[in-house]
Amino acid sequence: MDYTTLANGVKMPMLGYGVYQIPPEETTRCVLDALEVGYRSIDTAQAYFNEAEVGKAIEESKVDRGDIFLTTKVWINNAGYDKARESILKSMDKLRTDYLDLCLIHQPFSDYYGTWHAMEDLYGEGRIRAIGVSNFEPDRLVDMCGFNRIKPMVNQVEINPLCQQTEAVKWMEKYGVQPEAWAPFGEGQDGLFTNPELAEIGREYGKTPAQVMLRWEIQRGIVTIPKSTHIERMAENFNVFDFKLSDGDMGRIASMNLDKSLFLDHEDPRSVETFIQLTTEQKDLF
């Protein structure tokens, strides 16, 4: 496993296991499988509604808690100092842990400044080892870096061969913020798993298109958190540290960039309206 060192000196695995869209009834089994394969970084969120099952798996696995890098995220419904602090402590209870390795603001909406101040305080109390954000565009990220006691240490955003975030990554690097990729495979959109270019590159190394995508992200210095519910795919995704893409192949993948999200534009007012509607519908779930 390769590691990156965050701005505060905390080491974070370059490859983790994400549990987005995994139903609670499958989550414990999936996380146990991932830990068996060798993953030591697990990424969940309040809005995934499977924190308790993640915590159960970690406890049942008998893997030392100190060997696991555990991430969760604060959802929009819990924005603001008091609600955020309370929700983070509840997340720790669900996860059966007395500290988090990383806590992120999940979306750049509502009172995320109040949420950040709660996270800063919990970080100062030693309850969270690193704090960061998710889905923050460069302007909002620079705002967070410039007007807070503590700068975000991580920004988790969509990154895949069709949405490469080259400009956003430059701004993260300027401010010492570690980029982390969600949807590293673009959820297979536009045929990424069977893309001829990725398949041809993969044949050069005896690897699959999925492994090529993960290796490309890691070589860019981007932490990545692929998801699978199948242990054989988990193992395949984990097996990306025994080869290195050439500069030419890195360039070939770079040329695939469409420079737009495959899912949604966080700067589009219609996307914001979608989140407003979603959080209104979810108000009784948190």
Answer yes or no: are the C-beta atoms of 172 and 178 closer than 8 Å: yes
- Comparing CA positions, the residue from 83, 81, 104 lying closest to residue 6 is 104
What's the length of the chain?
A: 286
- In angstroms, the CA 92 to CA 223 distance is 23
**Residue 169 near residue 158, CB atoms below 8 Å:** no
106: annotated binding-site residue? yes
- Of the candidates 48, 81, 123, 175, the residue annotated as catalytic is 48
Look at residues 33, 6, 2, 38 and name the one whose alpha carbon lies nearest to residue 19: 33
Q: Is 48 a catalytic residue?
A: yes
2: helix, coil or strand?
A: coil
Interior CA angle at 219 toward 215 and 224, to 5°? Answer: 60
CB-side neighbour CA atoms (13 Å) of 211:
24
180, β-bridge pairs: 156, 223
State in Å, rounded, how far the first CA of the chain is from the last one.
35
Instruction: Indicate which residues carry an active-site annotation.
Output: 48
Q: Which residues are annotated as a binding site?
A: 106
Q: Which residues are annotated as a binding site for substrate?
A: 106
